[in-house]
Amino acid sequence: MDYTKLGKTDLTVSKVCLGTMTFGDQNTQAEANAQLDYALAQGVNFIDTAEMYPVPPQAETFTRTETMIGHWLKNQARDQVVLGSKVAGRNRYMPWIRNGDDRLTRANIRCAIEGSLRRLQTDYLDIYQIHWPERNVPLFGQYQFDPALEFDETGAEKAWVSVQTQLETLAELVKEGKVRAIGVSNETPYGVMSFCRVAEAFNLPRIATVQNCYHLMNRGMEFGLTEILYREEVSLLAYSPLAFGHLSAKYLDNPQAKGRVTQFLGYAQRYQKPNVMPAVAAYAALARENGLTPTQMALSYVYHRWFVSSTIIGATSMVQLKENMDAYEVVLSDALLAQIEQIHLTMMNPAP
């Protein structure tokens, strides 16, 4: 396993991060423990979770994932694990979180962190991220900004909690020792730059990470965000490198294969767009022509991109987890990378 520093912090993390959003729904406590133990044994020191997990979010399962990790973490050497979690906010209908008050106010962020620390059975988080933007922004399969959403049903302009207020609250948590580093998730170039500039202007903590979706069928961040990551020294944590399992080709080979897509019908609108399955077929064929599984090629591609600091992988079985981990040792040839680029140019970003 290789390791890297996050942003301008002193946090050293493995290039592969274990995602946990299946814990508490698709995975039991025993299965979660087995995954966590195996990942650590393979050199993974980085664990990602969130207060709203497992996914898809539901009132009856909300917070289960953190609770399960906490049961495991209490028996570990805490300083050997880099643990990140996220605070849920506006723009998604989850009335079971903080009684429906989903604004990223100081009170709500502080309420969220206290809950996460309690469930995770730890005194601090290494990384604390805003799960998605407070403001109006296209999310999770949406791809067009809609100015009309800046106003409520009465025509009044919505009062978004400012980036400065969010950073001031996160600064308190850092000062109190509850959080070591901060980050954002599902962010746009505008959002990342706003957090960087506000931090600089008001002497507030800089974001160290941005956790965004990135895979062969979703490379939109290359149109501007990668330059920002480079120039502002912010680390990318790439999630969903297999596109909800699509890039493993299991749904191509068997449309009824067991997995999130068939278990939670209609949940991921990113993958219901016209060119998704043709792109999956093209990438799967290319991998197999080169003696690789579709999973190996898709994961290796993300693992070794110059701007990806750590890739968040998830699995519902140990067989999947081992294949995902082993794919880190696969290095794609220049010729294969050129062929991938040709498919990309033909079917660019079918799952934004």
Active site residues: 53
Please say whether the beta carbons of 268 and 261 come within 8 A: yes
Residue recorded with tokens 């497992």: 54
Residue 3's H or E segment, with its range, is strand 3-5
Residue (of 44, 69, 39) closest to 54 by Cα position: 69
Under DSSP, the state recorded for 55 is: S
SS3 151: strand
DSSP state, residue 322: H
- Residue-by-residue DSSP string for 191-258: HHHHHHHHHHHHT-PPEEEEEEE-BTTB-GGGGTHHHHHHHHT-EEEEE-TTTTTGGGTHHHH-TT-S
DSSP H helices in the chain? 29-41, 64-73, 106-120, 163-175, 189-202, 225-232, 250-253, 260-263, 276-289, 294-303, 318-326, 334-346
Tell me if residue 311 falls in helix, strand or coil.
Answer: strand
C-alpha distance from residue 134 to each of 72, 90, 91, 117, 131 (Å): 32, 6, 7, 22, 9
- Positive or negative, the CA dihedral 326, 328, 334, 335 is positive
Measured between alpha carbons, how far is 184 from 92 in angstroms, rounded to an integer? 16
Amino acid present at 42: Q
User: Are 37 and 325 in contact, with CB atoms under 8 Å apart?
Assistant: no
Q: Which two tokens mark 53?
A: 């997990």
Cβ neighbours, 10 Å, residue 64: 18
